[in-house]
Structure 1
Amino acid sequence: MNRSRFAGPRLRRGAIAAATAAVLALLTTMTGAADARTAEPPMPSGPRVPDGQAYMGVGTRIHEGWEKAGESGTPTPRSQTDGVQGIDVSHWQGTINWTSVHSAGMQFAWIKATEGTSSRDSSFAANYLNAYHAGVIRGAYHFARPDLSGGSTQAAWFAANGGAWSADGLTLPGVLDIEYNPYGASCYGLSTSAMRTWVSDFYTAYKARTGRDVVVYTNAGWWNTCTGSWTGMSGKSPLWVAHWTTAASPTLPSGFPYWTVWQYDDGGTVSGITGAVDRDKFNGTSSRLLALANNTP
């Protein structure tokens, strides 16, 4: 066989293949650069919640695994259960006997009010009112969904549906619960700069509506990754840090010099609540908790 008659076509096919490989390599490089800009880790497989049914800490549970320190029979250190104690709840806790919760030593509670742009927690109204009558200093929280709308839009929804504040001595400022996305991409598809803008817009809109600085609930891993270790909120918002650990103190997100509230356990028990509930500690005395509620120095 005379192979020379096939040399031309083979060379042309080789050139086309080389060009195709070069284009694919360029696209791969561009995709990698985009991934680096968003700094978004992949979402692992694991349990999910129905849309609109997220609760405080669920994204962290999914991202970091369900088994955490303190959930496998390890006693919670006394250093965590000493001091001013509280809880955070949503409809997942069912019907709560708030009188029993107060009698058990829980001085404060944050209660889920809203999520995203249209979801309201079905138990919020009952929990918010009953906690008040039981003498528990309570506030509301909003589960952030930066993938659905801008921060100011969600702050307005929150403030209009339970997140407002009143100087009655039993109402804490609202909380922005911003953590790993339990529904998909960990950083909600936003770049670090876009996430900073989102949080800032939520803060500004919430303060304009209520006169209060919103409390930021987050964890070190999410904050450092998805905001790029942003320091811009440390001088504005009290920090509520989530770190389920047997350590004597939590790991803080970059930029925050100290914590105001620490969610130290996501599988605790409290009289008046059937099943597990998140346990929280306030970094101060009862009088300082009251000062936070009343917005006084």
Structure 2
Amino acid sequence: MPAAGAAAKPAGHDVSSHQGNVDWKAVRAEGGRFVYVKATESTWYRNPYFPRQYRGARKAGLLHGAYHFGVPNASSGRAQARRFLRHGGGWKADDWTLPPALDIERHPYDREHPCHGMSGTALVRWMRGFSAEVLRRTGRRPVIYTTARWWNGCPDGSRAFAATHPLWLARRHGNPGELPAGWAYPSIWQHAGAGALPGDQDRWNGTAAGLRRFARG
């Protein structure tokens, strides 16, 4: 997805409690067409703004999806998936709901252990557990949000997910660059931390019709 081509693709963003009450009509007017909203983190946190952010986006005409911030060393993948699904992380075939997403990256609270103090094998096992529970409960595999640097270093560049899990790539540069092992392209590219829309700036790697099919499943 070169920078020049990105401008023609549907624009989106992702938000959390940091964005608070979002003016969704303004988002739509600025060109926003989809959003991912943080629902949960590990098994201890729920975004208090999630219900109004999630419903507000849909009411304004945006496709919306929920994401979970994974902390693998805190509890099992299945346990975190179950909490996520209980608190907004589900999916339904309504043409408006994007598949659930797992944000998996360096440890947010321990810079000395970016891999969460876990081996590559253990991280893969954790993600398999999360994915299996989401699939069992929703019928969809989760989108995986990550960076190439973390993925290729911590889960040892596992190729176990690329064939069945869409990639949401985090790389805030002029082009996607190196990809996590196994994936040939990102479905969604987070290309900036700020911009015209609240929160991080994203692009769908395709057409508006393709984005709608992605939601449909």
TM-score norm. by structure 2 comes to: 0.95
1:202-221 to 2 correspondences below 5 Å: 202-221=130-149
Matches for 1:1-297 after TM superposition, within 5 Å: 77-184=3-110, 185-247=113-175, 249-270=176-197, 273=198, 277-295=199-217
RMSD between aligned alpha carbons? 1.3
Give the conservation status (yes or no) of the 8 Å contact 1:118–1:157: no
| Greater helix proportion | 1
Q: Look up the SS of the partner of 1:128 in the other structure.
A: helix
Contact kept? 2:6, 2:205, Cα under 8 Å: no
Secondary structure of 1:117's counterpart equals coil
The answer for unaligned runs of 5 or more in structure 1 is 1-76
Please give the alpha-carbon distance, in whole angstroms, between the structure 1 residues aligned to 2:61 and 2:44: 30
Return the offset for 1:261: 0.3
Structure 2 unaligned spans of 5+: none
Question: Runs of 4 or more off by more than 4 Å in structure 1?
Answer: none
User: Is the CA contact (8 Å cut-off) linking 2:78 and 2:130 kept in structure 1?
Assistant: yes
Letter in 1 for 2:208: S
Q: More relative contact order in 1 or in 2 (CA 8 Å, sep 6+)?
A: 2
SS at match of 2:65: strand
1:99 Cα deviation (Å)? 1.0
